[in-house]
Amino acid sequence: MGFVSIVGMCISCKRMFSFHPNKVPSLTVNGTREPICKTCVDRANILRKQKGLPPITYSADAYEGADETEIDWED
């Protein structure tokens, strides 16, 4: 059994962060899923709430590593 933690750059703030590749919130840019860090999602949710929009939700483990058997490698 292995452990997987992906490190990537947030599409919004450009900071590096680690995440679960199948659970992290993301945007599709030019056909590619791009991850969004927790700080940016939480900041966006404040604005969304002010505008009466539903919050962006994510799994409690979206910003943690995962057992390799949990990963959908085709996603």
pLDDT of residue 22: 87
pLDDT tens column, 8-23: 999 999 999 999 988 9
pLDDT of residue 75: 54
Q: Are the C-beta atoms of 38 and 16 separated by less than 8 Å?
A: no
pLDDT of residue 67: 82
How many residues belong to the chain? Answer: 75
Which residue ranges make up each domain of the chain? Answer: 3-66
Exposure string over 32-54, b if 16+ CB within 10 A, otherwise e: eeebbbeebbeebeeeeeeeeee
pLDDT at residue 69 greater than cutoff 90: no
How far is it, in rounded angstroms, from Cα 44 to Cα 28? 16
pLDDT tens column, 24-47: 999 999 999 999 999 999 999 999
